[in-house]
Amino acid sequence: MLYLAEVQKQKSGFMGAGKAEIKLLAFQRGDQSWNPVPGEEVIPAEEASNFATGALVLADLNANRQVQRLQEAGRPLVNILQSFSRVIEKFKRQEEEIEHWKQSLTYQSQEMNRRNMEMEARLEQLQQMEAEFKQLEARHQELKFGQEKAEMLRQEIESSRQDLAKGWEQLQNERHCWEESQHLGIDKFQVRQIQELVEHLSCSVPTTSVQEELTLLLANLATGQHTLTQHWQQIEQQQSYAQEQQQEFESIAQTWQESFTEWQQAQSLLEQSLSELKVKTTILNYKQEYAQTLKWQLQKHEELYREVSRIAESVTQVDVSEKVKITDLEQMPIEQLQQIVQDLQEDLAKNSQFVNDQEEELKLQKQAVDQLQTQLSQSDSSARSQIEAELAEEYDRYQMLNETLVGQRQNLRERKAILQQHLHVLWHRQGCHNFTTISDEPSVDLQPVLAQIEVFKQQKAEELQKLEQELSQIESSIVSLQSLVDSQTEMQALKQQQWQTLEQQLHSLQASIAETSGRIKLSQEVLQPLQDNWNSLQQQLEAISAAFNNSSEQQTIAQIHQVLQNLVPSIETAVP
């Protein structure tokens, strides 16, 4: 199992050598997650002597809690933190997407509800219109039936008029004959024929039942006219409502025009602010690139300074007099001294190999940093931010690894110095006075070079500080301008939403006005022919009723009856 541990060392002996241990801090689970180790658990690890005290390492332990492999934890920890950061960023993006989908679904649901309400309202209107059309159709059938009945009555009355005219003509003829018979005389048989003819005329004249039917038809016509009047009143109400809608449409249209003009003005101001923001952002990018160049120069000077410092440290003699007691070595048995020298040589070889491996890794990390810097200098603005983030991560790894190597290099030089002292004593006791040192590096004073590099660093740092102040001012102005742009964008979006809402109201109101006007026109087209037919029928029936009421045939026939009644006695007296 893989553990994160801290290197601990316990010093013992006159040489400062001690027992190396690792303190377990956390362990990795099967799902790649990390959990803290409960309590404090320390495990001996001879390999930990190659690391500085307090260094973080990754230890692979077997089932017996023995160290199988030990490695420096700097780069793996950076990778773990980087992976964790990416997971957090991915989680944030997913949350934003989920929130966006929630808003989208809410808007779609509201839009669907609004459309459903509109469809229900339209359906109710259609059902109402269908009921009205059914009522009009029923009234139309009643009107058609009344027309047919009035036509039949008119034909019946016309037939009666013709019969009456014929009877009246016969009666006139008979009367003429009777007048002539006053001189010639008339008998009872002729009087009886005249009475029968008068009775026939009496039967041909319309009776009171016809008058009752006329009255009933006129009453039905009045009822139908009342219904038609109600429909005409509804049409007038709809026309009044359509006029109110038209006035509302004109008012909203004027408000929409004002809102649209305000939106155009806000759009113009927003475009000006965006243009100014773009200019400032361009200036900021240029200055940031220059600041990046200065940082790169400072980084190169810092690297040069560290390299020269490392070289200066390597050519400077290390004082190990406090750790190595020459008198003790001279009094020690030579076999024991030879064994110590052999152990020190093996330990030095092992540490030298480890440091060389770390130096090689540092070299590879330096190449990665240089490659990213080359990509950054050749990249465009769209990919610059990503490359800068990767460069910062790789440079942090380089810094961490280099700082780790500082202590390891110093430790290696101390070990070389200690071994050198032991070899001097050993060779001296063996009688060998002509010997060489382990390192043939010359002793050179590099302090003037370091001082000059420090001056260059100070100049570049001051220039960078001044540039960063300018960048801070520009960024502050950009933040203020961005806040203004955000406010203007929000206001512009609000105004746009306002005029779009008004535009939707206009479209809806226009459709409602068109629908109301169409319904009015359709109702007028249906009702007007019915009203015309109704008026025509009513006029005809009223004319028939008036003609019937003004008829004098009944009175004439009654007078003839009276004359015949007076004539019969005189005839009976005159006839023997």
pLDDT in tens, 58-70: 888 887 888 888 8
Residue 62, pLDDT score? 83
Final residue of a domain: which of 392, 426, 442?
Answer: 442
Average pLDDT of span 112-116: 84
Report whether pLDDT(184) > 50. Answer: no
pLDDT-based confidence at 442, cuts 50/70/90? very low
In a domain, 259, yes or no: no
Tell me the pLDDT band of 317, cut-offs 50, 70 and 90.
Answer: low
Which ranges in 430-446 belong to alpha helices (H)? none
Is 26 contained in some domain? yes
Question: Across residues 292-298, what is the average pLDDT?
Answer: 81
Looking at the fold, whether 36 and 99 belong to one and the same domain comes out as no
Distance from C-alpha of 12 to C-alpha of 2, rounded to nearest angstrom: 30
Backbone angles phi, psi at 29, to 5 degrees: -85, 180
Answer yes or no: is pLDDT of 485 > 60: yes
At residue 571, the pLDDT reads: 45
Average pLDDT over residues 188-195: 57
3-state secondary structure of 197: helix
Among 43, 72, 101, the domain boundary falls at 72
Together in a domain, 143 and 198: yes
List phi, psi (to 5°) of 363. -65, -45
Do 143 and 181 share a domain, yes or no?
A: yes
pLDDT band for position 110 (cuts 50, 70, 90): confident
What was the pLDDT predicted at 574?
43
**Predicted pLDDT at 379:** 77
Rounded to an integer, the average pLDDT of 393-412 is 79
The verdict on 99 and 239 lying in the same domain is: yes
Is residue 63 located within the same domain as residue 142? Answer: no
Place of tokens 């410092």: 309
Look at residue 14 in the predicted model and tell me its pLDDT.
41
279 occurs within a structural domain:
no
Boundary (domain end) residue, out of 419, 442, 465: 442
Same domain as 209, residue 110: yes
Name residue 35's beta-bridge partners.
27
Asked if 443 and 315 count as a contact pair (C-beta separation under 8 A), the reply is yes
Q: Give tens-digit pLDDT for 445-482.
A: 567 777 877 888 888 888 888 888 888 888 888 888 88
List the domain range (segments joined by +) for residue 151.
93-243+518-574
| % the chain with pLDDT above 90 | 0
Give the residue-averaged pLDDT of 489-497.
84
- CATH code of 524's domain: 1.20.1050
Residue 440 pLDDT level (bands cut at 50, 70, 90): very low
Please give the pLDDT value at position 185.
47
What is residue 22's predicted lDDT score, i.e. its pLDDT?
A: 86
> Considering the domain boundaries, does residue 390 fall inside one?
yes
Residues 143-152 have pLDDT tens digits of 677 667 667 7
Close Cβ partners of 440 (under 8 Å, ≥ 6 residues apart)? none
301 pLDDT exceeds 80?
Answer: no
Q: How confident is the model at residue 171 (pLDDT cuts 50, 70, 90)?
A: low
State yes or no: pLDDT of 115 exceeds 70: yes
Same domain, 424 and 346: yes
pLDDT of 549 reads 62
Q: The pTM is what?
A: 0.36
**By C-alpha distance, which of 36, 40, 10, 11 is closest to 23?**
40
User: pLDDT band for position 281 (50/70/90)?
Assistant: confident
| pLDDT value, residue 439 | 47
pLDDT at 576: 42
Q: Do 114 and 44 have their domain in common?
A: no
The average confidence (pLDDT) of the chain is 76
| Residue 46 maps to a domain | yes
Number of domains comprising the chain? 3
